[in-house]
Amino acid sequence: MKIEANILVGLAVFFAVVSLGYWFWSYEPAGTAMLAGTVLFGLLPGAYYFWWAKRMKPRTEDRPDATLKEGAGVVGSFPGSSIWPFVLGMGLFLVVLSLVFGTWLLVVGGVITLYATIGVTAESRRGGTV
Amino acid sequence: MTLIAERPETIHEHPEHHEGPTGILKWLTSTDHKIIGLNYMITAIVMFYVSGSMAILIRIQLASPQSSLLSLQQYNELFTMHGSLMLYLFAGPFAFGGLANYIIPLQVGAPDMAFPRLNALSYWLYLTGCATMLMGFLTAGGAAAFGWVAYAPLSSAIHSPGAGPDLFILAILLTGFSAIFTAVNLITTIFYLRAPGLTMFRMPIFTWNMLVTAMLILIAFPVLASAMVMLFADRKFGAHIFSVTGGGVPVLYQHLFWFFGHPEVYILALPYFGVVTEILPVFSRKPLFGYKGMVFATMAIAALSTGVWGHHMFTTGVVLLPFFSLLSYLIAVPTGIKFFNWIGTMWRGQIKFDTPMLFSIGFLLGFLMGGLSGVMLASPPIDFATHDTYFVVAHFHQVLFATTVFAGFGALYYWYPKMYGRMLREGLGKLHFWLMFVGFWLTYVPMYILGLKGMPRRVATYPSGLGWHTLNQVSTAGSYLIAISFAVLLWNLWVSWRKPVPAGNDPWDGHTLEWFTSSPPPHHNFERLPPIRSERPVWDYNHPEAPALVHSRSGRGTDTSPAGTNVGPAAGKAGTIMQASEANRLEDASPKGREGYDR
């Protein structure tokens, strides 16, 4: 966890330096804004990881001497298969196309997207279908 | 059905078989990273062939002066779609949607990606993005014709009317979000689903590079998405963000686009650097030279690449030349470290020139020339002289062809046995390589000269008498060779499909975890894992007789676990065992033997 935190925080520090250098050299707002946004991209998750790295015992994947025995057991639950990503993808496709081909597609696409959103959420709670 | 993935401690006597839908329903509903990864790769390769055909049409048009094969509008559509398909729909998705999706969970010993359903959604958004992009050809006004960069104000509703440009923008939004979702998935998988003992500094370099690439995606793609939303608002909703008449700033579009666009080049390059870094040690029968140097070079390249967008805008006159020039030059340093380490890996190795190795060496040569001409272009005076000429075209085609095609198809030859459990034919693979290698140099070296003679890019015709004719003909001949080489690839795939040669689990005597499982891997990937005590656990397992490698001199020697001992059978293939003298040279100063692996 510590290395992961260091990578993200290091990214934030690097871009903080670059942002400051860029701003005081060029006074160009667009690039500075984007660079400053990149600082936040490193800082927010980095600070979260840093917080936990201080408080957690190293996980088995953080310890070079961990054995497979220590890591045995449940890794997590993974859906076997699911139709909802496909339905959601097609719904979003129609929503996007409605911007070019007319609002009537938005109705169809919107309904499918909403239906799929409910489906994918309910599936997470029920434990999967199909 | 939700499956609980367990990380087994020993071999399952009766591995749990995954019952699920079959046929077309399996394809539509699968959340298995391997099936999604293959979907991605097949779609990307189809896009590559479509886009490559467009390139051939462009080259036929340019083979003679005053050519009238294509109309000006058709020519503009073709080079726009050629670039867009190659960059947005082939090179990136092939790497982070295809290769990474398939290989990363295997390399870190995970049962699947962290968010399998999000992974599936990424693929559907990518596929619909491809469809949306190609749909432009079916509209009345034709496809987008403003170059893959879609500069404002050329891409405005006045200069590019019609539905084609709208579809282009929406296709980039769809594939952009698919890339962002995949990046989140990759980072989470790498941070949270590694096998026990697989510390960050034991991860294969391909995994490292994909982690860094995924972070670059999260930096760059949201900026692209916002630029596209603004462009769309300008076109359809009467906004004036990029139009001068409405008080907007067109150059803002270039800032936004290139803040995405330059990291994008490294999003397309870093995964393929990772591929080459996987292939070279395996076929040189040596561990990677300078593992940590490689990791830090990757990070340095990625970090610097986010601060160099202005070098695409030198000629706009409104960017800070010294800042962008300095940072662009600095990128040459970590790239040089990578070259040094790649050569160091091959140095005095027992090199086997199998097809993946040939493709990797082709990458090294092509990328070296493309990279060096990039260093030249980082100098503003040279850039002023060559901006928007064929010199720049030659530079980025060499860079991107070397990475995405040489290394990308090297990866296909390297991992195809794992993905399908059968080999590709070596002879046909080598024929593919040599045709492509000769074609590559014939196509792009004349373009450098054409650029220096002043031929501008994105022109459909040119007058005779400027000395451009012969060079263009050579370039076109080279592109035919490349086209033939890709027909050979299709032939190779056909032969491997009709007359399969079984690959076995580990045809190359590989180093990393994906070679430990069966080919193709079972559902949830691993029925057992080897002990992980270095960055090449499978090689350690197969070669217990080899002396240990000590990478850091601190060698705390905390490894006392029984799992750290090597009990596996030696693979014992003829000619695959590293000579003792060779291994002894590799800094083995540790009397602790294999216990000294610890970093």
Section B344-359 average pLDDT: 95
- Whether B106 maps to a domain, the answer reads yes
Q: What is the pLDDT of residue B12?
A: 43
Section A34-41 average pLDDT: 95
> Is A65–B223 a contact, with Cβ atoms under 8 angstroms apart?
no
In terms of Cα–Cα distance, which of B298, B394, B396 is closest to B342?
Answer: B298
Chain A residue with minimal CA distance to B2? A79
C-alpha pair distances (Å), A79 with each of A127, B5, B12: 8, 10, 21
Question: Number of A:B CB contacts under 8 A?
Answer: 215
Which of B18-32, B91-105, B159-173, B533-547 is least confident?
Answer: B18-32
Say how far apart CA B521 and CA B538 lie, in whole Å.
15
Q: Which residue has the tokens 């707002």?
A: A29
Q: Which residue has the tokens 């007319």?
A: A102
Q: What is the pLDDT of residue B1?
A: 42
In terms of Cα–Cα distance, which of B268, B303, B274 is closest to B291?
Answer: B274
Say how far apart CA B406 and CA B388 lie, in whole Å.
25
Say how far apart CA B331 and CA B265 lie, in whole Å.
13
Which tens digits make up the pLDDT trace of B227-252?
999 999 999 999 999 999 889 999 99
- Whether B294 maps to a domain, the answer reads yes
DSSP B522: P
Contact B174, B232 (CB under 8 A): no
DSSP B598: -
Instruction: Give the mean pLDDT of chain B.
Output: 88
Which tens digits make up the pLDDT trace of B471-506?
999 999 999 999 999 999 999 999 999 999 999 999
Q: CB-based contact (8 Å) between B167 and chain A?
A: yes
Q: Quote the minimal CA–CA distance from B563 to chain A in Å.
A: 6
Q: What is the pLDDT of residue A74?
A: 79
Q: Which domain holds residue B166?
A: 30-498
In terms of Cα–Cα distance, which of B165, B162, B132, B131 is closest to B148?
Answer: B165
Of the partner residues A68, A89, A97, the one whose CB lies closest to the CB of residue B125: A89
- Whether B109 maps to a domain, the answer reads yes
Q: What is the CATH number of the domain that holds B117?
A: 1.20.210.10
Rounded to a whole number of angstroms, the distance between the first and last alpha carbons of chain A is 36
- Whether B546 maps to a domain, the answer reads no
Helix axes B250-284, B205-236, angle to 10 degrees: 160
Q: CB-based contact (8 Å) between B538 and chain A?
A: no
- Whether B550 maps to a domain, the answer reads no
Q: Residue B173: its chain A contacts at CB < 8 A? A: 96
How many distinct structural domains can be found in chain B?
Answer: 1
> Is B598–A84 a contact, with Cβ atoms under 8 angstroms apart?
no
3-state secondary structure string, chain A?
A: CHHHHHHHHHHHHHHHHHHHHHHHHHCCHHHHHHHHHHHHHHHHHHHHHHHHHHHCCCCHHHCCCCCHHHHCEEEEEEECECCHHHHHHHHHHHHHHHHHHCHHHHHHHHHHHHHHHHHHHHHHHHCCCC
- Whether B534 maps to a domain, the answer reads no
Which tens digits make up the pLDDT trace of B363-384?
999 999 999 999 999 999 999 9
Contact B186, B95 (CB under 8 A): no
pLDDT classification of B599: cutoffs 50, 70, 90: very low
- Whether B359 maps to a domain, the answer reads yes
pLDDT classification of B550: cutoffs 50, 70, 90: low
- Whether B557 maps to a domain, the answer reads no
Contact B52, B558 (CB under 8 A): no
Chain B residue with minimal CA distance to A68? B196
In terms of Cα–Cα distance, which of B369, B403, B147, B379 is closest to B266?
Answer: B403
pLDDT classification of B118: cutoffs 50, 70, 90: very high
Of the partner residues B124, B174, B200, the one whose CB lies closest to the CB of residue A3: B200
Torsion sign across C-alpha atoms B22, B23, B24, B27: positive
Mutation for B interface: A100, A101, A112, A125, most B CBs within 10 A: A100
Judge whether residue B181 has pLDDT over 70: yes
Could you report the predicted ipTM of this complex, rounded to two decimals? 0.94
